[in-house]
Structure 1
């Protein structure tokens, strides 16, 4: 199938429409190799969140934990986003202490911004601080789901996730030289 350069960008080199599109609509750009089929990249280079802000019940267990004790969810997010430089327990405790002053949304907003920068996510539905100020629970759930959808196990922390990824890389088997006859 001969495709022009712009058609290859819309349909891919093989001429097939990607999974992120409905029949009859062209894919705006190919999704990154790690992304789920519903992730769409925009022309400005940002990527749509894998789930919406108000889809908290997509992960009912996390929704319940976040409603009852958001410091747990925040601690898990902070450890992953900071690549282990922030401890889950310390971040969660600081978040809980800040919640008594009403400033926990400013603290968690900074981690949302770092998460967006790391994965080139769009700033939506509004500025990060407004999202956390207006709907702290929903924003924490969305960030948790985003990291989980990218293959991270939020319950085991940063170091264990790195170790798990490292073990996932396999080396070719070693061939033992034996007798030839």
Structure 2
């Protein structure tokens, strides 16, 4: 498990490293709502399902407001891991580089020990099997 291999306060990959995982890049390019749904389920610790998040992202995208949803969760990820708002602001990335931003967020979760494709419950089961006592994502409701 790679939970503690990455220092807090530093992104594990660059924004434009999309092709590091080509299947993720292609999936996100053609179905960004699916990838963001997976990310949101993890960041909301299972309180928002992947399907619900996917539908909400799609609905907001159809009225040209998807960037608001993307920005919210990018900020949440940054706050959890104390990551810098770099190389650009969350708003600019969510508006102009949304596919790259979503891929980076997914990779960040994966590199820190969470597999967004498994969903929240799948990751909880995986952590139990691996004997992880402190999950990579803080489970306290005190997250701001």
TM-score > 0.5 by shorter chain:
yes
1:155 aligns with 2:124: no
- Aligned match of 2:99 in 115, 122, 137? 137
Cα distance change, pair 40–151 in 1 and its aligned pair in 2 (3 A):
closer
Q: TM-score, normalised by structure 2?
A: 0.85
1:118 aligns with 2:111: no
Higher RCO (CA < 8 A, seq sep 6+): 2
**Alignment: residue pair count:** 131
Rg bigger for which structure?
A: 1
Unaligned segments of structure 1, at least 5 residues:
1-32, 42-46, 171-181
Instruction: Output the aligned Cα RMSD.
Output: 1.6
Higher helix fraction: Structure 1 or Structure 2? Answer: 2
Q: What CA deviation, in whole Å up to 9, does each residue of 1:76-128 have, x standing for no partner?
A: 00000111111000000110111111100111110011111111111101221
Q: CA deviation at 1:167?
A: 2.1
Q: Distance in 2 between matches of 1:152 and 1:98?
A: 26
Unaligned segments of structure 2, at least 5 residues:
133-144
